[in-house]
Amino acid sequence: MTEEKKEAGVALISLKCVLFLFFGGLGCILAFLPLHMRDVGLTGDESRIVSIVTPCVAIIGPLIFGPLADRWGAGSGGTQYSQHMRGLLAFCLILGAVAYSALLAVPTVSRLQQRNPELSFRCNEHGAFVAQEKCQETPCHDWPRDNIGSIFLTHCRYDDCIGDRNKSDFFTVTTPYTVPDNDDDDDDNEGSGSTLTSETSTSSKKILGEIVADNPHLCFTKDERTICHVYTNSTKQLTLNVTLTTTPDTYLYDPEWCRYPLGGKVRCPILEKYESCNVVCDLSEPFSRADSILLPAKCQKTIGNDQLTFWSYLAIRSIADIFPTTTLALLDSCLITATRDSPGLLGPQLAVAAAGLAVFPIISLFFSNLTSLFFEVTLSAYASPILMFAILSLVAALIVIFDKSMPLSPVDYWLHSGSSYFNFKGGGGEITVILFILVLLGTFWSSLDSYLPWYLVLELEGNDLLLALTFAAGALPSLPFLWFAETIVFYCGHSNLFITAFTFYIIRYTGLLFFSNPWWILLCEGLEVFTLSIMWASAILYIRQVIPRHLTTVGQSLAVIAHFCLGRSIGAVLGGILSQNDSLIQVYRVCAVVAAFVASAYFIIYYCCMKPKCLKPPTRGYRNPHNAMQGSNANGTYTPLKVYNKGDKGSNNQASRY
């Protein structure tokens, strides 16, 4: 290592500290925020909405601060630009810490275990209806008029009776009743109770009254013929074919009950000794029987204001997510600027960032135990990772503010000299392609990582420590690869590394399909070396090549927007649509197939269409930077990107440098 490179490495120590702290805090919130949403009481659907909306809102930060940083760099001195950049970094770090800490103030909602709503059949001399408990999750149903089906009555009895108990226990029968023959039973209403029909005969009224005294009756009148079911002590169940209807008072009848009247002329005769009375019956298996007319319903008691919790959490998260994405774009730009004159130093900075991502999620799990042990403070679940992020961000902000030697010289000081000034002419297509690829990669990353904590902890019954170890499993193996990131990218080529990333997504998704033991998932997370770490190093180097040099921060902002905003939101949508009952198996199955298709298509398009075109002999008067680079690649497969200059296109020095 040359003396000049050693001096550059020493100057980058403070930047290493900022990267280590920021990415350490970022690992804490990436690991545990999905579980924190469920912990505060958000439902699965509400959590998915948050995961979809917040990345879209986060686009605002890079879009505003990226151009602002480049504008300040153009036309300002080295000291002034360094102050501006450090100010932007400190601003985003501090506000990110404050915004995420505000999530701890969101009121929680407790949702008790789901249960079936209470049901009862109620009938009197004026009519009959089914009463169903109103639930927030299951409103009253809008029954069609011809909704015919069965209900199954048990334990029928008199209830809500008012009157003089000294009167006779016999019914006042206006129409004489006799016990009918078997062939007189109503075909539409069959049951195991006794059945009575109205007849013209006046005999046996007294005997009948003695037999059926105090037994609940349910009578149907059709074509001037009355059929009555009698529920006796020996009756186990009455099966009735009925028509449930909806009336205007279905929703207004009672604030706690839905009312579904029975169609037709249905009534229950009342004992003479009572002024008013109701026949009340329980319903047997109202939701589980295939021939039941009642629709499945669930009630869940909610303690707290669920709407306040959802909207406040969504608003705070949307604001909070703006600042980490902006900080990431600014730090990538700082890395590009700080290592511009020292090839090989970019990789060690990224390796330090990955180390922070690996260790701090684990440390945050012990943070709450330490506070409880030494300070007698008990933190709520998943509060310690958020506080850890806030603390690390504030410490990083202090380093940025007070270390004025951080190598952040202005972009125009480096770039606006001679023919090295870039423009978009000829490079717009490459920029569009790389951003599209980053959106696809971000979609696969989000479909997996946005919901992986749910799958690992809630479905596979893993624990929080295992979840933190997944980040260590993904980050620690990447350290040697990132340390030599520039060499790997130079040797393998950007497109080959992107194809490799898509390929390893196939393996990761397929592994998750077959691993039922949560600890085996650590093997899949180890492949994140290629799907995220090396891929992102290749992406920021690619953007450095194709973006106009005076728009370095804008270029890195576009990369962050493509992968961590648009791709992350699309992946959350895809995962939310494909997940069934919070199970992610269908997500992994579909994404494995799609990743295989994308990897194959990218491979074919690149090697059959793009690469042969790029390797055509240069035209007269054109010095092809690709040929200048071919001699320095032992594998002979790497095709460097085009480097567009204001004047002649490329030179040996520029090509070898990038």
Q: What is the CATH number of the domain that holds 589?
A: 1.20.1250.20
| Containing structural domain, residue 450 | 3-111+304-412+428-610
CA distance 169 to 265: 25
Considering 300, 328, 357, which residue would you say is the last residue of a domain?
300
**Closest CA relative to residue 381, chosen from 11, 9, 39, 17:** 39
Residue type, 156: C
**Residue 530 and residue 391 in one domain:** yes
DSSP code of 148?
E
Confidence of residue 579 (pLDDT cuts 50, 70, 90): confident
Residue of 451, 474, 472, 526 lying closest to 363 (CA atoms): 472
Q: How far from 212 is each of 104, 161, 163, 193, 590, CA to CA, in Å?
A: 65, 18, 20, 12, 65
The rounded distance, in Å, linking the Cα atoms of 95 and 581 is 36
Note whether 336 and 456 are same-domain residues. Answer: yes
Enclosing H/E stretch for 242: strand 238-244
Q: In this structure, what DSSP letter does residue 298 have?
A: -
Instruction: Tell me which amino acid residue 281 is.
Output: C
Nearest alpha-carbon partner for 272 in 165, 179, 194, 177: 165
pLDDT at 420: 38
The answer to whether 392 touches 22, Cβ cutoff 8 Å, is yes
What mean pLDDT is predicted for residues 311-326? Answer: 96
Q: What is the mean pLDDT of residues 257-270?
A: 79
User: How many other CB atoms are found less than 10 A from the CB of residue 138?
Assistant: 18
In a domain, 79, yes or no: yes
Token pair of 340 as six digits? 């511009």
C-beta separation of 146 from 243 below 8 A: yes
Which residue would you say has higher pLDDT here, 338 or 475? 475
Q: Is 63's pLDDT higher than 90?
A: yes
Per-residue confidence (pLDDT) for residue 625, from 0 to 100: 37
Least confident of 20-29, 477-486, 649-658: 649-658
Instruction: Give dist(CA 462, CA 518) in Å, integer.
Output: 6
Question: At residue 408, what are phi and psi to the nearest 5 degrees?
Answer: -125, 60
Structural domain ending residue among the three candidates 255, 274, 300: 300
| 602 and 485 together in one domain | yes
Does residue 346 form part of some domain?
yes
CB 351 within 8 A of CB 482: yes
Residues 219 and 335 both lie in one domain: no
In a domain? residue 420: no
Angstrom CA distances, 449 to 505, 574, 588, stand at 12, 12, 11
User: 405, 340, 397, 398: which is closest to 82 by C-alpha?
Assistant: 405
Q: What tokens were used for 153?
A: 């009555």
- What tokens were used for 588? 């992994």
Q: Are residues 242 and 345 in the same domain?
A: no
Alpha helices (H) in 281-321, listed in sequence order: 306-320
Radius of gyration (C-alpha) of the chain in whole angstroms:
36
Q: Using CA atoms, how far apart are residues 294 and 519, in angstroms rounded to an integer?
A: 44
**Average pLDDT across the chain, whole number:** 76
CB 8 within 8 A of CB 345: yes
Same domain, 443 and 458: yes
* Other Cβ atoms closer than 10 A to 139: 11
- Same domain, yes or no: 126 and 63: no
pLDDT on residue 571: 93
Q: Which amino acid is at 268?
A: C
Average pLDDT over residues 178-200: 42
3-state secondary structure 320-354: HCHHHHHHHHHHHHHHHHHCCCCCCCHHHHHHHHH
User: Both 251 and 350 in a single domain?
Assistant: no
- Residue 174 included in any domain: no
Do 197 and 184 touch, CB atoms closer than 8 A? yes
User: How many distinct structural domains can be found in the chain?
Assistant: 2
Per residue in 193-202, pLDDT (tens digit) is 455 544 433 3
| Strand ranges inside 374-454, DSSP E | none
From first CA to last CA, the distance across the chain in angstroms is 20
Lowest mean pLDDT among 4-8, 35-39, 400-404: 4-8
Measured CA to CA, the distance from residue 438 to residue 560 in angstroms comes to 9
Give the highest mean pLDDT range of 241-250, 296-305, 312-321: 312-321
Residue 265 has pLDDT above 90, yes or no: no
- From 526, 542, 543, select the one nearest 479 (Cα to Cα): 526
Q: Where are the beta strands (DSSP E) in 500-622?
A: none
In a domain, 600, yes or no: yes
Q: With beta carbons less than 8 A apart as the criterion, state whether 39 and 385 touch.
A: no
Question: Which structure tokens are listed for 99?
Answer: 């915004």
pLDDT band at 144 (very low <50, low <70, confident <90, very high): low
Region of poorest pLDDT, from 63-77, 87-101, 489-503:
63-77
d(CA 411, CA 556): 13
Q: Do 288 and 314 sit in the same domain of this protein?
A: no
Per DSSP bridges, beta strands 302-303 and 110-111 are antiparallel
Rounded Cα gap, residues 311 and 50, in angstroms: 9
Q: 29 pLDDT exceeds 60?
A: yes
Judgement on whether residues 387 and 482 belong to the same structural domain of the protein: yes
Angle of CA points 13, 17, 23, to nearest 5°: 140
SS3 408: coil
**Residue 531 lies inside a defined structural domain of this protein:** yes
Phi, psi of 185 (to 5 degrees): -65, 145
Q: Is residue 207 situated within a structural domain?
A: no
CA pair distance 155, 136, nearest whole angstrom? 28
Least confident span in 131-135, 291-295, 330-334, 469-473? 291-295
Numbers of helices and strands, H then E, in the chain: 26, 13
Among 363-377, 504-518, 570-584, the range with the most confident prediction by mean pLDDT is: 504-518
d(CA 87, CA 90): 5
Alpha-carbon separation of residue 612 from 600, 601, 639 (angstroms): 17, 16, 10
- Beta strands per DSSP E along 71-168: 110-111, 119-124, 127-133, 147-163
What does the pLDDT read at residue 359? 93
Last residue within a domain, chosen from 570, 590, 610: 610
Tokens 């927030």 belong to residue:
136
Do 11 and 89 lie in one domain? The reply is yes
Under 8 Å between Cβ of 46 and 308: no
- 388 & 339 share domain: yes
Three-state SS at 44: helix
How many C-beta neighbours within 10 Å does residue 112 have?
10
Q: What is the reported pLDDT for 33? A: 92
In order of 49, 360, 588, the CA distances from 385 in angstroms are: 22, 9, 27
Using DSSP bridges, classify how beta strands 127-133 and 119-124 pair: parallel, antiparallel or unpaired.
antiparallel
DSSP 572-596: HHHHHHH-BTTB-HHHHHHHHHHHH
Per-residue pLDDT at 477 exceeds 80: yes
| Percent of the residues in the chain that have a pLDDT greater than 90, as a whole number | 30
At position 129, the amino acid (one-letter code) is F
> Is position 167 within any domain?
no
pTM as predicted = 0.71
